[in-house]
Structure 1
Amino acid sequence: MTGTRAAAEPEDVTVSGPALRLPRGRPRNAAADTAIIEAVLSLLEEGATIGELSMERIARAAGVGKATVYRRWAGKNALMLDVMKSVDEQTPRLTGRSVRDDLVTCVEFIRRRALVKRSSALLRNVLAQAQNEPELWAAYHDTVIAARRAQVREVLRQGIRTGELRDDIDPELLGDLFIGPMLSRSMLRPDAALPEGLSELIVDSVLQGVRTGR
């Protein structure tokens, strides 16, 4: 949507507390929201890092005034959280038929997301900026990562309860053993192949060492 101006809005800004909000009674323009978020995603796809983006540059790419951006988001970190949510998906639904199948579903979710250019570009940029943007990283972790890790931990705890998995390994560490290889390939090695069947291979390889044999 770069270069296409969203529906025009008055450029006045009303401040209410720490965040910038629309004046009472004025409806928020969904087209402008979409244009701004799409502009950020396009800039990331073109190779810009989060650190290189400014609200002015984002507004120019979206074809809106800077005040239109600030009316919706108090700053860049707040905007980036909404950008993350725009490419985020709900945690995958698990069947519960077996620990193995549920783990494959969780790992496959990461693989499929990594194949989507927008998601992988955004995630790599977020990680690259984590040291310089600790608040953004913390918010991203709380918004996205925590739910993923909690789901995997519950699958593993269920496996321990049923006696399928060893109980002498901390579920937090155990989750990293299953999820880590796919994250490494998808985020730290962007040119690495992510073929069909990779999720099953990872899960089965780790399971060989952590099953109880029952």
Structure 2
Amino acid sequence: MQIDTAAPVPRPESRCAAAEPCVRRRGRPRSEAAERAIVAAVERLMEDGVALADLSIEGIAAAAGVGKATIYRRWPNKEALLVDVVARLEAPEPQLTGGTVREELLAMMEFMRRRGLAKRSRWVLKTALGQLDNWPELRSMYQEQVLEPRRELVRRIVRRGVAEGVIRPDLNPDLLSEVVMGPILLRTVFWKEAPLDDPALAEQLVDAVFNGIAAPLPR
């Protein structure tokens, strides 16, 4: 049985009084069940070994039990759908909470730690991210829609820290952001044998940046 929200829905009889204008509903509410089925279908196809470049809207629709129109109502093309699916495979996006600058950086670092663990433990995510290098168009979309907003989030925290006087104002915000996030990215991307499962790792890294690594000068 197919889940197809593209099927026509009968219109209810109008109950508007003659003296009262009718308020027409625009569009049709999205079916969360259909959306979950589509995302799950892409994941299953990837688990079966289908490469991202070989996925098609027709194949995804068939695997999800929906019509192609149901997919196109949510995503304008295959690339947008795949970027969304890969992003969902990762840890939930961090949200600024209004805490201290240190607390916000700690939350961002913890997000990156969990993302690194997910990439190591979920081979589907690892495979998907690895294939982005062979698909420049998809990688560009992922960079623009997923990675760049995260970088901007770190820059916002850094700029706030500079404005509040808790971060040095004489360094470029981009450089400061890279100094903060660099260690966890290094462990995730290059030093894959380095442990990421220590819950205290994020706090250790943030405090190392805040306190500096130079030994105190002798009096």
Q: TM-score, normalised by structure 2?
A: 0.66
1:149: which partner in 2?
151
Distance in 2 (alpha carbons) for counterparts of 1:190 and 1:45: 22
Distance in 1 (alpha carbons) for counterparts of 2:29 and 2:160: 47
Higher Cα Rg: structure 1 or 2? 2
1:209: which partner in 2?
212
2:3: which partner in 1?
7
Deviation (angstroms), 1:47: 5.5
Letter of the structure 1 residue corresponding to residue 174 of structure 2: E
2:94: which partner in 1?
91
Deviation (angstroms), 1:111: 1.7
Deviation (angstroms), 1:167: 2.9
- 8 Å CA contact 1:56, 1:66 repeated in 2: yes
SS in 2 for 1:94: coil
Distance in 1 (alpha carbons) for counterparts of 2:46 and 2:191: 18
- 8 Å CA contact 1:130, 1:136 repeated in 2: yes
Q: How does 1:6-45 map to 2 (within 5 A)?
A: 6-8=2-4, 29-45=31-47
Letter of the structure 2 residue corresponding to residue 182 of structure 1: I
Q: How does 1:19-168 map to 2 (within 5 A)?
A: 29-45=31-47, 48-64=50-66, 69=71, 73-84=75-86, 86-87=88-89, 89-97=92-100, 99-116=101-118, 124-125=126-127, 127-168=129-170
Deviation (angstroms), 1:72: 5.1
- 8 Å CA contact 2:119, 2:126 repeated in 1: no
CA 1:184–1:41 in structure 2 vs 1: closer, same or farther (change >3 Å)?
A: farther
Unaligned runs of 5+ in 2: 8-25
Letter of the structure 1 residue corresponding to residue 144 of structure 2: D
SS in 1 for 2:180: helix
2:18: which partner in 1?
none
- 8 Å CA contact 1:91, 1:147 repeated in 2: no
- 8 Å CA contact 1:153, 1:175 repeated in 2: yes
- 8 Å CA contact 2:110, 2:202 repeated in 1: yes
Distance in 1 (alpha carbons) for counterparts of 2:47 and 2:55: 12
What is the number of equivalent residue pairs in this alignment? 195
Letter of the structure 1 residue corresponding to residue 77 of structure 2: G
CA 1:106–1:67 in structure 2 vs 1: closer, same or farther (change >3 Å)?
A: closer
Per-residue deviation, residues 156-181 of structure 1 (Å, max 9, x unmatched): 22333343333332110111121122
Distance in 2 (alpha carbons) for counterparts of 1:48 and 1:118: 20
Distance in 2 (alpha carbons) for counterparts of 1:26 and 1:134: 34
Distance in 1 (alpha carbons) for counterparts of 2:159 and 2:73: 45
Deviation (angstroms), 1:126: 5.2
Deviation (angstroms), 1:73: 4.1
Per-residue deviation, residues 89-119 of structure 1 (Å, max 9, x unmatched): 443233433x333211110122234444699
- 8 Å CA contact 2:119, 2:125 repeated in 1: no
CA 1:49–1:90 in structure 2 vs 1: closer, same or farther (change >3 Å)?
A: same
Letter of the structure 2 residue corresponding to residue 198 of structure 1: L
Distance in 1 (alpha carbons) for counterparts of 2:69 and 2:50: 22
